[in-house]
């Protein structure tokens, strides 16, 4: 269920409070929620995931991404969360989480081609972000 993107970053579709224990057992230190509360009637509330993280000794960071897209503030928040890895980021399908990781990685100086390759190995196509990745990377 957890899809590795790099050795320290994985993404996932919606997780449950029960999945938090599995994440802790796999060595994750931080869980990032990229899904706004109330996006779907069947998703657990962020507070429920946050409580499960606290019970497992994991950091929980909420960086909700909605239909309006990504902001620089969200990219910077993700970059800060990545500093406390290994990180598991989730949303409805994992795509927003992977895209936000890609943007934060570029801002952190990782080469855009490496980012596209890493995401691709996880089954995600971030090539459409290439112009923005280059801009954030200063390339």
pLDDT in tens, 106-123: 999 999 999 999 999 999
93 has a pLDDT exceeding 70: yes
What would the mean pLDDT of 123-128 be, rounded to a whole number?
Answer: 96
30 strand-pairing partners: 59, 87
The token duo for 123 is 């089954």
Q: What is the pLDDT of residues 12-41, one digit of tens each?
A: 999 999 999 999 999 999 999 999 998 999
Q: Is the pLDDT of residue 139 over 60?
A: no
pLDDT for 88 beyond 60? yes
Res 76 pLDDT > 90: yes
Domain range for 127? 3-137
**pTM as predicted:** 0.95
**Per-residue 3-state assignment (H helix, E strand, C coil) for 29-94:** CEEEECCCCCCCCCCCCHHHHHHHHHHHCCEEEECCCCCCCCCHHHHHHHHHHHCCCCEEEECCCC
Q: Would the pLDDT of 138 be above 90? A: no
pLDDT at 105 over 90: yes
> How many domains in the chain?
1
What is the mean pLDDT of the segment spanning 82-97?
96
Tell me what pLDDT residue 16 has.
95
66 has a pLDDT exceeding 60: yes
CATH assignment of the domain containing 10: 3.90.190.10
């Amino acid at each position: 269920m957890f899809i590795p993107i790099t050795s320290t970053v994985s993404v996932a579709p919606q997780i449950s409070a029960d999945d938090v224990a599995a994440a802790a057992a796999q060595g994750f230190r931080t869980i990032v929620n990229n899904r706004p509360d109330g996006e779907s009637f069947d998703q657990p509330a962020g507070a429920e995931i946050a409580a499960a993280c606290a019970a497992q000794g994991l950091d929980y960071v909420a960086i909700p991404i909605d239909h309006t897209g990504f902001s620089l503030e969200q990219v910077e928040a993700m970059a800060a969360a990545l500093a406390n890895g290994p990180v598991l980021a989730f949303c409805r399908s994992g795509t927003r989480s992977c895209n936000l990781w890609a943007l934060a990685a570029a801002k952190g100086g990782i080469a855009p081609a490496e980012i596209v390759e890493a995401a691709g190995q996880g089954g995600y196509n971030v090539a459409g972000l290439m112009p923005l990745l280059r801009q954030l990377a200063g390339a």
